[in-house]
Chain A
Amino acid sequence: MWRTVSFVERIEVDFVGNLFNQAILLGDVDNDQANELIVGNTEGDLHIFRGTFSSPWRKCSDLGMLTCIGIGDVCNKGKNTLLALTAEGWCYLFEVVAEVKKDESKAETEAEDENKIILKPHYTQHLPANGKSLLIADVDGDGQIEIVVAYSDRVVRCFRWRQDSSSDMLETGSTSSTGNLIQISQWQLSGQIGSLTVNLSEEGKPELLVAQPGGTYVKLCLTVVTGGESPGQSESTFVEERLGSARIRNSMITTEIVGGINKGNRGKAGGGTFYALSTLDGTLILIENKEILWSLQVDHQLFALTKLDVTGNGTEEVVCCGWDGQTYIVNHTRDVVRYQFEENVTAFTAGLYSVNQKDNVPSFVYATFNNKIFIYYNITLPRVESTNLIEVMDKMEETHELLTKLNITDPDTSQLRELYHWLLYGWKPDLSLEDDKT
């Protein structure tokens, strides 16, 4: 049986409306190194929560049907920008300014306060409609951030921010940044797209992976197009990857993918990262360089797949959540910890969140169907696997040396148990020993 834990400390925030799993995100929007929670619903409300407050810190409404939210250095300025994408194709960029700490709070009227929390997009552009998944990352290794959007018509488009925009682009709001998003590449895939991710290959180069139905994925190759003025004309290729897995039960099942899972410093020194696939019928696979490291079959419908370093040891665990709130934390050696959230979940994400506005702690965020979002912020575990003191001691070289010094050779479990029990509970600092009378 797998280990189960229970998390208690949580922040409860109010958020009304339906939301997509791609429209919930933990990230640093205001560049203060402390992460916030950003959520958007289908009514067009975008809320930013921070700290332990149950009401939004910043909000924006009437944006349209928000499907995806992303945070990244979209404009390549070294600053995080919030990007919100609607089903209608509207793409909003927000530059959120961190709170300036002043003691003039008393002087401000309520109306000003109300004004302060209203967020306005500083840039708006109409992109092709029906985007369902978003990735903001450097997918081709050129140091520039790309915006990759997957559409419900099985198309993936890649955009890049270009400074000095041409005048015919729609532009509203502030004039602080002039530029626009231009499409640099487009792929037409055969299957519905689950999610997008970027993974580091063995050579340390980023590769763009797209989840395809039935627990498969496709690697998209971005050909560098020079002078690509007219979008959509560049040659875009992709490689379909075949995984030698017979465990996929349904070839049409919705699949999620997450890449860039940090291996930690143990094991091979080779670069690259792991990536994981999950399907709605309960298969979870960890892959390294097209090879399946392990796969796991559960009887919960896994819809959200993320990665997070839960143990704080530098390696990232795979975190997977089912519609019924069952959450799996799986490490690289296939040890599992489960957590059962008590309600059905409409959206889930795992990441770093700042409770005290100073440092970020690993957190799980569950959005429920009851207009509440729960942030569990005290989820750090010492380890994923179940172990006992005898096993932990056995892994330490010093133990064996000391045991031989104590004339305990080849100890059995009961002897070790007695020894450790006495060491922990019977120990007196002024302990007197009498040697064997020989």
Chain B
Amino acid sequence: MEESKIGYKSWKWTDAHFCNLPTHTLLYPGMSCGISTTPQTNVYGHAKVIDPDGSNKFLVASRVGKFISLEYQITMDKLAPSAKIIPFSYIPAGAELVSLDVICKSVHHKRIVVGVTFIKFEEESEDVESTCKQYLNLYSLQEEYSGFDNIDDCFSQSIDLDFTPYQLTHTSIFVAGKLESVFLLIGSDCKIHMYREVSVSLFLLDSDHGDGMNHIQSKNQAMQQTFREFPTDDCFPEFKDISTCVHWIDIVYYNQYSRRLTARGHRDGGITVSHVNVDSNEMLSSWSLQHDSPITCIKIFTLEYSVSQPGFISQRKENSDKEVDPVFHVLALSALEPAAVYRNVLSNGLKEPLVLPQSNKFDVPLCVCIVDIDFDGCNEIMIGTYGQELLAYKFISQKPMSKSGKSSGNEKLDEFGDINDPNRNRHLSDEKEQRLTPVDIQDSLRSKSHENLNFKHSTENITQSNKQHKQEDYMGKKCDHFQLLWQKSFACPVMGIDRLDIMGDGMEDLVVVTLKGVHIIQPDLQEIAKVCLERMNNITQKKHKIKSDKHLSNVKSVQNKEK
């Protein structure tokens, strides 16, 4: 009861902080009167930095290669946002930044690797046309890092690219039974390039050192961690034979890293979802579909969001061996069409699309984030659009068919009627002779004799009952839909959304990257606190009940013994 009350409450999310991208002086740099502009960012230009200590950061880069790290700090007993400009080295002036990603490694010691791709335009000379070169720069912050303060000491390397870079992302692969984080970079050459970290002796850094697989990972000072490009065939069979340029990839592992789902969105509107057995490195199945406009973003997600109970609440053992395969859905954003969710891809493939209403009403939808924004344990979909809107969608399940079908359900019903147009027309055409479909013409031709007419009536009855049955089926099973929960306007086109507990309080804030800055938005904390208190109250009551039950049973057993 309490849950439903909270579930449909729409929280008002407001700006907790807004941070402009660093201004860039275009004319007369160095003078106070210089003309400065705020450079823009793009959809690939941000990443979050997860810290196990809870001091999470958000890194965002502008087109001209200026970086800002956004975090919250407690200074003089007051929580305050802090934005620092991070001077990454070896990014030349005039470079155009394309994408950015961060690998956070926290297994042994806290360590992050920042990857940056950019295009450098070569100076135009008399006989040579202006050319551009592309680079992937990697910065490994080796030591116990405290943010990006010691960025000057980091090990950096630059890799020449012979293609135009697109999205830079990272995932894990299994090498010799060990999980390893790798960078994946989408290229204009219709390939996805993988960069792995290998340990190389410092003396060998410049020579060709091919086999990094068997290399001993020692922390010897003479050894250095460096990134190399590796062929993807060994690890990613799904990346073979890509024919058109990819805009976005999303990779999800499940079942203890034994299975993998990979979704790709292409420039020509194609989407491909591949299911891979990681252990045997073979493709189990693959589904493809063509949209009419370029895919701007693609995301694999689950609707359930589960967090395990903290140990200090109760020492309950999670029966993890009984783990059920999660139900994965794929959300595809394409430039000119409404966003579509393909539900339960593992069993249905890309057959069951659900359209997010009004998602194409605000210019091109650009980015997506899956987050539980109303604290009911179910994920919602956030979509950011170029039309400066942030849209929040909630999945409304109609499985327990109730009387509250509501208008949205009825709309679906109408749609259903349209889908089954032949049936419907047939039904109508009996009453109004004018509207004849080919089937009806056949019927009317056939129904010249009285007998045939009777026959026709009977078949019609059957189809009608069929239709009714189908409709009920539809209402009962398929009437699930996504509902626009709320929307929020921004001053600039929304380029990215991410969820991040940037304040270190356990609640996930939304980080919204617009063309010119970063917003951290959160709901009213007073209201959130009320929810927390209510739930804590609930737990204490339950605990109390358990205790009293135990006490009661103890007393009973004592009494039995006495008897």
Q: Which residues of A contact B (CB under 8 A)?
A: 1-9, 335, 340, 381-383, 385-393, 396, 398-399, 402-403, 405-408, 413-429, 431-437
Say yes or no for B314: interface residue by CB 8 A criterion.
yes
Interface string of B491-510 (1 = CB under 8 A from A): 10000000001011111100
Q: Mind listing 26 A-B residue pairs with CB under 8 Å?
A: A4-B17, A4-B20, A5-B17, A6-B491, A8-B490, A382-B526, A387-B525, A389-B503, A389-B529, A393-B532, A398-B533, A402-B540, A405-B543, A405-B544, A413-B54, A415-B310, A415-B312, A418-B310, A420-B507, A421-B307, A423-B506, A425-B508, A426-B377, A433-B313, A434-B314, A435-B546
Instruction: Find residues 9-29 in chain B having any chain A CB closer than 8 Å to their own CB.
Output: 14-20
Of B19, B313, B525, which one neighbours A382 at CB under 8 angstroms?
Answer: B525
B133 within 8 A of A: no
- A382 and B544 CA atoms in complex are apart in Å by 35
Residue on B nearest A436 in the bound complex, by CB:
B315
- Chain B residues contacting A2 (CB-CB under 8 Å) are 80
Complex: A114 Cα to B375 Cα, angstroms:
54
In angstroms, Cα B260 to Cα A435, docked, is 37
> Which B residues lie within 8 Å of A7 (CB)?
491
Q: In whole angstroms, how far apart are the Cα atoms of A393 and B519 in the complex? A: 24
In the bound complex, what is the Cα–Cα distance between A326 and B155 (angstroms)?
A: 40
B211 within 8 A of partner (CB): no
Q: Which residues of B contact A433 (CB under 8 A)?
A: 313-314, 316, 539, 542-543, 546
Are the CB atoms of B17 and A3 closer together than 8 Å?
yes
Interface residues of B (CB under 8 A from A): 2-3, 14-20, 53-54, 72, 78-83, 305-310, 312-316, 372, 375, 377, 388, 489-491, 501, 503-508, 517, 519, 524-526, 528-529, 531-533, 535-540, 542-544, 546-547, 550
A421 touches B507 (CB 8 A): yes
Whole-angstrom distance from the CB of A324 to the nearest CB of chain B?
12
What is the number of contacts between chain A and chain B, taking CB atoms within 8 Å? 184
CB distance from A104 to the nearest CB of B (A): 37
B542-A6 in contact (CB<8A): no
Apart from A386-B17, A393-B532, A435-B314, 19 more pairs, CB < 8 Å: A1-B81, A6-B519, A7-B491, A389-B525, A390-B504, A392-B528, A402-B540, A406-B313, A406-B536, A406-B539, A413-B54, A415-B310, A419-B313, A423-B506, A423-B531, A425-B508, A433-B543, A435-B550, A436-B315
Given A402-B536, A408-B312, A424-B506, check contact A388 B525 (CB 8 Å): yes
Looking at the assembled complex, report how far the CB atom of A376 sits from the nearest CB atom of chain B, in whole angstroms.
Answer: 11
Give the docked Cα–Cα distance between A28 and B284 (Å).
71
Closest to A399 in B: B533
Interface hub of B54, B506, B524 (most chain A Cβ within 10 A): B506
User: Does the CB pair B505–A417 fall under 8 Å?
Assistant: yes
Nearest Cβ in chain B — how far from A416, in angstroms?
Answer: 7
- Which residues of chain B come closer than 8 Å to A424, judged between CB atoms? 372, 375, 506-507, 528, 531-532
The distance in angstroms between the C-alpha atoms of A423 and B531, with both chains bound, is: 8
Residue of B16, B307, B388, B533 near A425 (CB, 8 A) is: B307
Write out the residue numbers on chain A whose beta carbons fall within 8 Å of the beta carbon of B543: 405-406, 433, 435
Question: A9 to chain B: which residues have CB within 8 Å?
Answer: 489
Are the C-beta atoms of B310 and A5 separated by less than 8 Å?
A: no
Instruction: Point out the residues of chain B lying under 8 angstroms from A428, CB to CB.
Output: 377
Give A413 to B312 CA distance when docked, in angstroms.
14
Please give, as numbers and ranges, the residues of chain A lying within 8 Å of B377 by CB-CB distance.
Answer: 425-428
A429: nearest chain-B partner, CB-CB: B3
Q: How far, in angstroms, from A6 to B388 measured CA to CA in the complex?
A: 13
Contact assessment for B529 and A393 in the assembled complex, using a CB-CB cutoff below 8 Å:
yes
Hey, which chain A residues are within 8 Å of B305, CB to CB?
425
CA–CA, A435 to B526, complex, Å? Answer: 30
In the complex, the answer to whether B79 meets A387 with C-beta atoms within 8 Å is yes
Chain B residues, Cβ within 8 Å of A434: 314-316, 546
Q: Would you call B490 and A6 a contact (CB within 8 A)?
A: yes
Which of B308, B314, B491 sits near A8, CB closer than 8 Å?
Answer: B491
Cα separation A398 to B526 with both chains bound (whole Å): 13
Shortest Cβ gap from A412 to chain B (Å):
11
- Do the beta carbons of A386 and B81 come within 8 Å of each other? yes
Within the complex, what minimum Cβ distance (angstroms) separates A2 from chain B? 7
Interface centre among A390, A406, A416, A423 (most CB of B within 10 A): A423
| Interchain CA distance A277-B545 in the complex, whole Å | 59
Residue of B nearest to A426 (CB): B307
Q: Contact check, B506 vs A421: say whether CB atoms are below 8 A apart.
A: yes
Query: How far is A6 from B512 in the complex, measured between Cα atoms in Å?
Result: 12
The residues of B that contact A422 with a CB separation of less than 8 Å are 307-310, 313, 506
**A405 with B309: in contact, given A5-B15, A418-B506 (CB under 8 Å)?**
no
Which 8 residue pairs are nearest across A and B when measured between Cβ atoms? A426-B307, A420-B506, A421-B506, A388-B505, A388-B503, A389-B505, A5-B15, A417-B506
Q: Is A8 a contact of B539 with CB atoms below 8 Å?
A: no
By a CB distance below 8 angstroms, the chain B residues around A386 are: 16-17, 72, 78-81
- A429 near B2 with CB under 8 A, answer yes
In the complex, what distance in Å separates the CA atom of A381 from the CA atom of B78?
A: 18
B532 with A3: CB separation less than 8 A: no
Cα distance A381–B523 in the bound complex, in angstroms: 11
Most A-side CB within 10 Å, residue of B80, B82, B544? B80
Given contacts A396-B533, A424-B528, contact A390 B14 (CB under 8 A): no
Instruction: Return chain A residues, CB-CB under 8 Å to B3.
Output: 429
- Give Cα A429 to B80, complex, Å: 35
Which of B14, B388, B508, B547 interacts with A435 by CB under 8 Å?
A: B547
CA–CA, A416 and B313, complex, Å: 11
Q: Which residues of chain B are within 8 angstroms of A390 by Cβ–Cβ distance?
A: 504-506
Contact B309 A340 (CB under 8 A): no
Question: Does the CB pair B309–A389 fall under 8 Å?
Answer: no
- For A427, list chain B residues within 8 Å (CB): 375, 377, 535
Give bound CA distance, A419 to B20, whole Å.
33
User: Is there an interface contact between B540 and A391, defined as CB atoms closer than 8 Å?
Assistant: no
Q: Which residues of A contact B505 (CB under 8 A)?
A: 388-391, 416-417, 420
Please tell me which one of the listed residues B19, B508, B544 contacts residue A4 in the complex, with CB atoms under 8 A apart. Answer: B19
